[in-house]
Amino acid sequence: MQFSGEGYIIKVRKHGEQSAIITLVCPQKGKIVGYVKGAFNKRNLGIYQIGNYISYNAYTRLEENMPSLRGVELLRSHTADFVLDNDKIEALSSMCRLLDECLAENDDLGLFFEAINDFFEHINDKNWLVYYSFFEFYLLDFLGIGLDIKECAVTGKQTDLRYVSPKTGRAVCAEAGAPYKDRLFAYPQYIAEHNYMPQKAEIANVLAMTGSFLQKNFLALHNLKLPENRANLLGLVKTYKL
């Protein structure tokens, strides 16, 4: 069996002295894990770095076997985008860890891949953290635990939506949610409007909400926790410059 494709490197494990087992997220194949012979020889220095976008040819005798990745070419290097910025490194580490733990191998990512790609494409923009928040929001949707924010769960209204229930993940309008506002998440208005220039408080609210739902509705069920780096992102919002 053989196939080819492109994808972002999200994990690299050394295998022997110079070879590696790498994990990729790809537009059609989703997450794949493959063996690369000679990944760490001098000719390949700089290719097998987290966040780099590569092309590959994969070969395996049996479908259930780990493929061998050959003919790898570096299409886009993102090393320089992260190496000198600890905040971006933490966001990258959080994203890669979540993708590795939440995605099954060989699942077509469909439109979710666009959220992953947008993060890398806009990593040098002032609002790069906003793209990370969109990634987590759409990760929930891809996992089948997405939030229903189109109408109020109580009244059915599609206007004046102000909150999200931490139990159901459904939107709640201002009138229905007012008595319980201290126990509800703030409505992710900029997500609903696809606005990529929100206020800092809005980003913090979305990250608090997506982190809670990821932990409760997926990670905890698999005896996993949010990545350690992920906790630091909420603190980062306070100093984040839009």
User: 106: phi > 0 → left, psi -120 to 50 → alpha, else beta; which?
Assistant: left
Q: Are residues 136 and 233 in the same domain?
A: yes
The side-by-side arrangement of strands in the sheet containing 161-164 is 148-152, 170-173, 161-164, 185-186
Assign residue 7 the CATH number of its domain: 2.40.50.140
Distance, CA of 136 to CA of 134 (rounded, Å): 5
Residues 11 and 72 reside in one and the same domain: yes
Domain contains 7: yes
CA trace torsion 207, 212, 217, 222 (10° rounding) = 100
**What confidence category does residue 63 fall into, taking pLDDT thresholds of 50, 70 and 90?**
low
d(CA 33, CA 68): 9
Angle between helix 200-214 and helix 228-239 axes, rounded to 10 deg: 170
In a domain, 104, yes or no: no
Mean pLDDT to the nearest integer, 179-207: 97
133 in the same domain as 214: yes
Q: What is the DSSP letter of 9?
A: E
Residues 140 and 68 in one domain: no
Residue 136 is assigned to a structural domain of this protein: yes
Same domain? 134 vs 203:
yes
**How many domains in the chain?**
2
Residues 114-127: tens digit of each pLDDT: 999 999 999 999 99
pLDDT 10s digits, 200-224: 999 999 999 999 999 999 999 999 9
Collapsing DSSP states into helix, strand and coil, what is residue 147?
coil
* 51 domain-assigned: yes
Q: What is the mean pLDDT of the chain?
A: 94
Q: What is the DSSP letter of 105?
A: B
Residue 234, token pair as written in the block:
């909420």
Q: Are residues 54 and 131 in the same domain?
A: no
| DSSP one-letter string for 46-91 | TTS-TT-EEEEEEE-SSTTSPPEEEEEEEEE--HHHHTT-HHHHHH
Q: Look at residue 155 and tell me if it is in a domain.
A: no
Own/partner pairs, 115-122, CB within 8 angstroms, 24+ separation:
115/139, 116/8, 116/25, 119/91, 119/95, 120/8, 120/51, 120/53, 120/76, 120/78, 120/81
- Give the end of a domain, one of 61, 77, 93: 77
Per-residue pLDDT tens over the stretch 127-173: 999 999 999 999 999 999 999 999 999 999 999 999 999 999 999 99
Do 143 and 231 fall within a single domain?
A: yes
**235 DSSP assignment:** H
**Residue 103 within a domain:** no
- Tell me what pLDDT residue 234 has: 84
Can you give the pTM of this predicted structure? Answer: 0.94
Has residue 200 been placed in a domain?
Answer: yes
Residue ranges making up the domain that contains 20: 2-77
Strand partners of residue 170? 148
Q: Are 137 and 194 contained in the same domain?
A: yes
Domain boundary among 18, 47, 77: 77
The answer to whether position 203 is within a domain reads yes
Q: Beta partners for 19? A: 15
Alpha-carbon Rg for the chain, nearest whole angstrom, is 20
The predicted-structure confidence for 14-47, as pLDDT tens digits, reads as follows: 998 899 999 999 998 999 999 999 999 988 888 9
CA-to-CA distance for 207 and 188, rounded, in angstroms?
10
